[in-house]
Structure 1
Amino acid sequence: MNSFLTSGLIHAAFWVVVGLTFGGAVLAVFPRKIVYNVLGLIVCLSGVAGLFLYLGSFFLALMQLLIYVGAICVAIVFAIMLSPPLHLEVPKRRMGKVVLSAGASGVFFVAIAAVIWKTVWHPAAERGADWSIVTIGHLLLTRYDLVFELISLVLLVAIIGAILTTGFSRRLSS
């Protein structure tokens, strides 16, 4: 009797999470207001994290919440909040800035291409490494924790850059 009740609760929780996921997907697609679309995306991605929990993959569920719900959706909300209204006229681009940004992008591309070209790549199978989710999660939070933190720093710099850009564009338009 007790296992039947537990099994029923597990199945009910599964169907609630599936309903949450599909409901969030519908809310992400059909409303005409973009804020409701983003909220629907957050609900849908949270439901996907619940499905990962149901499948026993706690690491993927946590990464789903941290990366997609916590970072991507928050960045989308910031982009919506900080974008200027569509009825305002966009200032013309200055050719000096375009050339400077194209040059900086070219230098960055050449540097990355040189690093990729000069690196000696070894297939993972030759090293005999274990590439399970548990191992990747352990490596991300121990050996490669600096890289993990740098990703969050890059997101922070992007958000600060968006805020500064919005402040400059609002001063130019007024």
Structure 2
Amino acid sequence: MNFMTEAMAQAAFWIVVGLTLAGAVIAVFPRNIVYNVLGLVLALTGVAGLYVFLGSMFIGLMQLLIYVGAICVAIVFAIMLSRPLHLEVPQRKLPKVLLAAMASCLFAIALIGVSLRTAWKPAAERGTDWSVATIGELLLTRYDLVFEVISLVLLVAILGAIVTAGFSRRLTS
């Protein structure tokens, strides 16, 4: 019985990983913004599932509420601020595509390197209290700079969407 439960948990884990990766691919490759956003929703939901598998129900739920919930707002921003879908999409310039591919590969290599060099331990072995009160205290004391940087990144993303929309509207009118 224990083997069957473990096999089902492994299968569920790999399904969540597959959905996360599929969502990431859908978020990156289609040229339609609606498909990109829906792929991002799928990828972020998969990441929330991975948090649940890691034993952090609170972080998984916050992932769903904050990121996946905020994606609904991003969809509204994207549709309101982007070029109308009936207009022709401009051709991508090869140097920009190559530069983006190189930056992505560099980031992936760095991420894989950090992941391989890190000694991963389950939270239970570390003896850390992962209660909501402890997480809240850490976010407002030890990790307050990270918390503020995340809010600045979101602000820059919103401003970038507004500037990009204004630029694309000037080109189409």
Task: Output the TM-score relative to the length of structure 2.
Answer: 0.55
User: What residue in structure 2 maps to residue 83 of structure 1?
Assistant: 82
User: What residue in structure 2 maps to residue 116 of structure 1?
Assistant: 115
User: What is the CA–CA distance in structure 2 between the aligned matches of 1:165 and 1:118, rounded to whole Å?
Assistant: 38
Q: Deviations over 1:86-127 (max 9, x none)?
A: 221111111111111111111111112112211222221112
User: What is the CA–CA distance in structure 2 between the aligned matches of 1:113 and 1:63, rounded to whole Å?
Assistant: 22
User: What residue in structure 2 maps to residue 156 of structure 1?
Assistant: 155
Structure 1 pair 66/121, CA: closer, same or farther in 2 (3 Å)?
closer
Structure 1 pair 73/135, CA: closer, same or farther in 2 (3 Å)?
same
User: What is the CA–CA distance in structure 2 between the aligned matches of 1:165 and 1:82, rounded to whole Å?
Assistant: 8
The letter of the residue matching 2:162 is I
Q: 5+ residue gaps in structure 1?
A: 1-60
User: What residue in structure 2 maps to residue 94 of structure 1?
Assistant: 93
Q: 5+ residue gaps in structure 2?
A: 1-60
The Cα of 1:155 is off from its aligned counterpart by 1.1
User: What is the CA–CA distance in structure 1 between the aligned matches of 2:83 and 2:127, rounded to whole Å?
Assistant: 52
The letter of the residue matching 1:125 is A
Task: Output the TM-score relative to the length of structure 1.
Answer: 0.55
Corresponding residue pairs, total: 115
Q: Which protein is bigger by CA-based radius of gyration? A: 1
SS at structure 2 position matched to 1:89: coil
Q: Percent identity?
A: 67
The Cα of 1:64 is off from its aligned counterpart by 8.1
User: What residue in structure 2 maps to residue 132 of structure 1?
Assistant: 131
Structure 1 pair 114/65, CA: closer, same or farther in 2 (3 Å)?
closer
The Cα of 1:68 is off from its aligned counterpart by 6.2
Counterpart contact for 2:81–2:162, Cα < 8 Å? yes
